Structure 1
Amino acid sequence: MTTILSEQTKLRDEIVSVGASLFNRGLTFGSTGNISARLSNGELLMTPTNVSLGTLDPGRLSRFTAEGVHVDGDKPTKEAFLHRCMYCEQAQANAVVHLHSTHSVAVSILADVNPQDVLPPLTAYYVMRVGALPLVPYYPPGDEALALAVSEKARTHHAVLLANHGPVVAGKTLHEAQYAVEELEETAKLFLLLHGRTIRPLTAEQAAALKRI
């Protein structure tokens, strides 16, 4: 019990730190975005509803049982189901970050992207941290159909982009998920800066070699 409580305290502080970092650098704004992380006993800690990631209180994070029942902390985010979808399909995941980051959302609105893999392999780190990025069709927030659509894509991808909404990224650790969603946002920014120009992305062979690494 002492070990779990110590682990929980550390993880609560990490979530608050990551939230502040994302908010202070403009990757999230207002009360948008949410973060979750999984404890070794299967319980989940998640950022609450209607709270800025820049002003999180570690003692008020929502806590769920391994079965997904909210047991204490503030009222959970209404997007909690997005996190559960990722954990159910990505067995190695121990953290999920969902943002409404500007450049990623902008790309999700473009009509001419490939829905199977939205962004080209522009950099090595994007390929290694994100890989293929499928587009989940638009559904209203809270729509049960969105959960089904995310689950389908999450079976084979640890990162997805919700149309007209934003990215959802899972990682083995909280920092892994954070770095991946940040890499996604920066690649989306590059993509928009280069839009309409002839580009030279990594070749299929180069990308495949990186994925093997």
Structure 2
Amino acid sequence: MITAEQIEKFIAQAHRVGDAGLTVCSSGNLSWRIGEEALVSGTGSWVPSLTKEKIAVCRVADGEVLNGVKPSMESGFHLGILRERPDVDVVLHFQSPYATAVACMKEIPRNFNVTAEVPCHVGSVIPVIPYFRPGSPELAEQVKAALKDHNSCLLRKHGQVVCGKDFDQAFERAMFFEMACRIIVLSGGRYEVLSQEEIDDLETYILGKKP
């Protein structure tokens, strides 16, 4: 059973996302797995000012709505990611200013590794998904496929998606994603990225992976 405390935690985390400028008005959506169910921000809801009346409770296994609140149009990839990734409990779709500016560039960067935080937290490779209509089955399938073995992706002319084991990890990935894109935009395209050797060095000594 979903508790009142869990609902309040979900609302607080949604407002945190909004306060950080990751979503504006009705842009973006958030989900949180709790056992066999998931809380999903509702269709048309404003994540920065989410209320309990706009939170859908869905069964993860088949997407059935359990409380009569229609979930976000992007619930297809939220629930799909949760089904594919037992290590993930939180999915965030956001549209932060600089990362969305990058998503709308004619030539999207192939490499986002401008600082160590990107490969350490966001991912050394960030899949870029072609434009599909928001809420479409095609978009849901593309996002699910991309996040099957990555933790973030960029949606062309749309926004971004990150996932994590908890709210903090998903939030951290979103914030560092936005930071990297801010560097890319403010540099006017004149930026350097970490070499593969430098990334491997991070994985060995910071992430604790053996060479």
TM-score interval, normalised by the smaller of the two chains: 0.7 to 0.9
- Output one character per residue of 1:126-167: Cα deviation in whole Å (capped at 9) or x when no partner: 211111211011011222111221222122211111111111
| Match in the other structure for 1:12 | 7
> In structure 1, how many angstroms separate the alpha carbons of the residues matched to 2:6 and 2:161?
20
* Greater displacement, 30-39 / 145-154: 145-154
> In structure 2, how many angstroms separate the alpha carbons of the residues matched to 1:65 and 1:194?
44
The runs of 5 or more residues in structure 1 that have no matched partner are none
Aligned mate of 2:114, from 100, 115, 122: 122
Distance 1:99-1:186 versus aligned 2 partners, 3 A rule = same
Question: Equivalences for 1:100-111 in 2 at 5 Å?
Answer: 100-111=95-106
| Match in the other structure for 1:79 | 74
> What letter corresponds to residue 133 of structure 1 in structure 2?
I
- Output one character per residue of 1:80-115: Cα deviation in whole Å (capped at 9) or x when no partner: 11212322332210000101212111111222225x
| Match in the other structure for 1:163 | 156
> What letter corresponds to residue 168 of structure 2 in structure 1?
H
- Give yes or no for the alignment of 1:51 onto 2:59: no
| Match in the other structure for 2:88 | 93
> What letter corresponds to residue 142 of structure 1 in structure 2?
G
| Match in the other structure for 2:196 | 204
Kindly indicate whether the alpha-carbon contact (under 8 Å) linking 1:60 and 1:74 is maintained by their aligned counterparts in 2.
yes
| Match in the other structure for 1:36 | 31
Kindly indicate whether the alpha-carbon contact (under 8 Å) linking 2:162 and 2:174 is maintained by their aligned counterparts in 1.
yes
> In structure 1, how many angstroms separate the alpha carbons of the residues matched to 2:29 and 2:159?
11
The runs of 5 or more residues in structure 2 that have no matched partner are none
> What letter corresponds to residue 202 of structure 1 in structure 2?
L
| Match in the other structure for 2:175 | 182
- Secondary structure at the aligned position of 1:168 is classed as strand
- Secondary structure at the aligned position of 1:140 is classed as coil
Kindly indicate whether the alpha-carbon contact (under 8 Å) linking 1:60 and 1:73 is maintained by their aligned counterparts in 2.
no
Matched pairs, number: 203
| Match in the other structure for 2:134 | 141
> In structure 2, how many angstroms separate the alpha carbons of the residues matched to 1:196 and 1:123?
15
Distance 1:182-1:23 versus aligned 2 partners, 3 A rule = same
Distance 1:9-1:210 versus aligned 2 partners, 3 A rule = farther
| Match in the other structure for 1:112 | 107
Shift of 1:59: 5.5
> What letter corresponds to residue 122 of structure 2 in structure 1?
V
> In structure 1, how many angstroms separate the alpha carbons of the residues matched to 2:148 and 2:201?
22
> In structure 2, how many angstroms separate the alpha carbons of the residues matched to 1:79 and 1:194?
33
- Output one character per residue of 1:140-196: Cα deviation in whole Å (capped at 9) or x when no partner: 122211122122212221111111111111100112101111111111111111133
Kindly indicate whether the alpha-carbon contact (under 8 Å) linking 1:159 and 1:168 is maintained by their aligned counterparts in 2.
yes
- Output one character per residue of 1:29-55: Cα deviation in whole Å (capped at 9) or x when no partner: 11111110001x221011111111122
> In structure 1, how many angstroms separate the alpha carbons of the residues matched to 2:203 and 2:84?
20
> In structure 2, how many angstroms separate the alpha carbons of the residues matched to 1:24 and 1:93?
23
